Structure 1
Amino acid sequence: MAGKSVPVYDIDNFNFQGTESAFYASTFPDHLKQHAQFILAPHRHSFYLCVLFTKGSGIHEIDFNAYDIVPGSVFMLFPGQVHTWKVSEDIDGYIFFHDKEFYNLNFTHDKVENYPFFSSTENLPLIILNKEQVSGIEIRFREIVREYLSRQLMGFQKICSLLAVLYIDLSRGYLPIEQRAKQNETQLAQAHMLEILIESNFRNIKYPRQYAQMMFMSEKNLNRICKITFNKTTSDVIADRIILEAKRMLVHSKFSIIQISEELGYIDDSYFIRVFKKRTGDTPMQFIKRYGKRNY
C-alpha cells in the first residue's frame, strides 16, 4: 500500500554547520526565516526536537492536541510525532534537534530516552517555566546555539555536555514529585519496552496478553505497570496508539477509510469504525470533517 503523505524531515533537510548532520540549533526567528516554506505545514521529524519560546504567542498542534505558545513554553518532541505551529510576528526563542545516536553515543551510562519528557509518548510534550526558571534555561539554550554556530574545537562534545545539563534542569521541573514516588526505574524501563513493542507491532498485535508474553510476564503484572506509569490499562495504551495512527492517516493521507482499516489490521472496516467512535466519540468521517483532509 502507498505510503502516507505527511512529510518526514531529517536533520539533513535543514542547514547545519560543518560535517556534523546529527545536530542542529538556531534562534527561532532565524529558523523560521530559513525554513518557513515547509515547517509551518504539518510534518514529522526523524529526530528529537526541543524549543524554548521567550516572546510572542501562537498555537502548537502536536498529534491533534493544541497547546498555547507563551513566553516560557518549552516543547519536547519525539521522532515521528506530527506537528505544526502558527506563531505571531514577534515570536522569539531557541530551537535545537538531534538524533538518538548523537546523544547516546557520547554517554556510557545515560540515554536521551531516560529523561522523563522523552521516556514515553504518553507524557506531556510541554513545560511552562516561570520567569525565574526562564532566565536560567534561556542561558542554556543560548549557549548551545552559540556553540553550534561558532564551530570551535571539540564543539559537538561541548554541546553534548550542555544538552545533558539542560535536560537535567528541565527534568527537575517536569515530573511531579508524587508521580516519581510511585515509579521505579524497573517499571519505567518495562513501560518503555512495552511502548517500543507496540510501536513495532500495533498493526498486527492488539491484545495485552500477546505483549505480556513478549515481555515474559503475566498480563496482570503488565496491566499493573501500565496503571502506575500511564494511569491507563494495557488495553488503553495499545488502543490509543492505534487510534493516533488512524487519526494521522485520516487527516494526513489520501487513503480511504477502508484502506486505513486494512492498513491498521482490521479485516472488517465496520468494526474499525465502531472502535474509532468508541475511543474518540466521532466516526472517522466526522473526524475528517472536524479537522479537514490535508493532502500534500
Structure 2
Amino acid sequence: MKREIPNLLFKSKSPEISGIEIIRLEKIKEEKESFTHSPEKAHQLEFYQLAFYTDGASEQLIDFVWHKVEKNTVIYVSKGQVNAFKFNEDLKGYLILFTEDYLKEQLTKIPKNTAIRLLTPQLFSPKVQVVQTSNLSAYVELIFEEFYKSTESFNKKYIVNSLFSIIFSKVEEIKKNETDYIKDSEKLTLFLKFQTKLKKMFMSNKNADFYAQELGLTYKHLNVVVKEVINKTAKQYIDEFVILEAKRNLVNSTIKSTELAYLMGFEEPTNFVKYFKKRTGLTPNDFKKEYNKV
C-alpha cells in the first residue's frame, strides 16, 4: 500500500539524551514550510507526544477529531495516532516528544495510571485543561531549558528524566479530579485484557459474546466492565475500534475500499460498506474524499 499520510519517525537532536525531544510550537510554525510534510496536514506518529499550549487558541487533530486548545491546555498523542495542528499567529507552547523505548525506561518512575493513559489512548480524552493554580508550566519551561540551554553534561540526562516524570505526575494530579478517572483497578485490568484480544482478533471476530467467552466472562459481565471503564457497551467499543482502524487505513494509503474490506475481515465488500456507513454516515470512499478536502 502506498501511504498518503506520512508515518513520522522520531529524530532526537541531543547527542547526550536519546529518546526524548522538546520543541517550541512557534519553531514548528515558523519552519513548517521546510518540512517534507506539513504539520498542519494529518500525519501518523511513530512516537508519543505531549503538547502544552502557553498562549493563543486553536485546534489539534487526534484520530479525526479536532480538539479546541487554549492557554494551559495539554494534549496527549500516543504512538500510532493521527495528528495535525492548526497554527494561529498568536499560538505558543511546547511539544515533548518521546519514543516507546524511552517511555518503557521511565515507566517505573511514572504513576501507573499515567502510563496506562499514555499506552491506552482510547480510554481517556487526550485533552487536559490545566488549572491556573498549577505550576506545571514552570516544569515544562525547566525541561526545555535543561535540554537546550544547559552547557553542563554532568547529570543532564538524569535531570531531564526527573523533570519528565514530574510533568506527567502533575498532569495526572489534575486529571484525577475529572469524572473519567478510573478507580476500580480490577475492572480496568479486565478491560485491558479485552482490548488486547480485540486488537489481535478483530479481523476474524467482531462479536462481543466471543470476547466474553475468551475472557471467561458472561456477556453481561463484560458489558458491565466496559460500561464502567468507558461508559459504552462492549459492542459499541468493538465497532468504534474497527471504524477507527478502517479510517486510518483509508486516509493512510491508496488502498481501495474493496481491498480494505477483506483486510478488516469482512467476507463481502458490500458488508463493509454498510457497516461503515451505518456508523459514520458515509461510505468508505465518500469518507476518504471528504477527509482529503481538509
TM-score above 0.5, yes or no: yes
Which residue of 2 is the match for residue 144 of structure 1?
143
Which residue of 1 is the match for residue 26 of structure 2?
29
Say if 1:11 and 1:21, in contact at 8 Å, map to a contact too.
no
Say if 1:120 and 1:195, in contact at 8 Å, map to a contact too.
no
Q: What TM-score do you get using the length of structure 1 for normalisation? A: 0.86
Say if 2:2 and 2:254, in contact at 8 Å, map to a contact too.
no
CA distance in 2, matches of 1:205, 1:154: 50
- Pairwise mapping of residues 1-296 of structure 1 onto structure 2 (< 5 A)? 2=1, 4-12=3-11, 15-34=12-31, 37=35, 38=37, 39-108=39-108, 110=110, 114-115=114-115, 117-118=117-118, 119-133=120-134, 136-149=135-148, 150=150, 152-176=153-177, 178-180=179-181, 183-292=183-292
- 4+ residue runs over 6 A deviation: none
CA distance in 2, matches of 1:127, 1:216: 35
Q: CA deviation at 1:113?
A: 6.5
Q: Match of 1:292, as an amino acid? A: N
1:53 is paired with a residue of what secondary structure?
strand
Distance 1:279 1:221, change over 3 A: same
Say if 1:45 and 1:81, in contact at 8 Å, map to a contact too.
yes
CA distance in 2, matches of 1:209, 1:157: 48
CA distance in 1, matches of 2:136, 2:146: 16
Q: CA deviation at 1:293?
A: 6.3
What stretches of structure 1 of length at least 5 have no aligned partner? Answer: none
Say if 2:4 and 2:251, in contact at 8 Å, map to a contact too.
no
Q: Match of 1:143, as an amino acid? A: L
Q: CA deviation at 1:114?
A: 4.0
Q: CA deviation at 1:112?
A: 6.7
Distance 1:274 1:52, change over 3 A: same
Percent identity between the two aligned chains: 22
What stretches of structure 2 of length at least 5 have no aligned partner? Answer: none
Say if 2:40 and 2:86, in contact at 8 Å, map to a contact too.
yes
Q: Mean Cα displacement is larger for which, 152-161 or 113-122?
A: 113-122
Q: CA deviation at 1:30?
A: 2.4
Q: CA deviation at 1:202?
A: 2.3
Q: Mean Cα displacement is larger for which, 58-67 or 72-81?
A: 58-67
Residue by residue, what CA displacement relative to the aligned partner does 1:112-135 show, whole Å, maximum 9, x if unpaired?
A: 7644642442311111224333xx
1:67 is paired with a residue of what secondary structure?
strand
Q: Mean Cα displacement is larger for which, 28-37 or 70-79?
A: 28-37
Distance 1:163 1:281, change over 3 A: same
Say if 1:117 and 1:124, in contact at 8 Å, map to a contact too.
no
Residue by residue, what CA displacement relative to the aligned partner does 1:180-203 show, whole Å, maximum 9, x if unpaired?
A: 4x6411222222232233233322
Say if 1:117 and 1:174, in contact at 8 Å, map to a contact too.
no
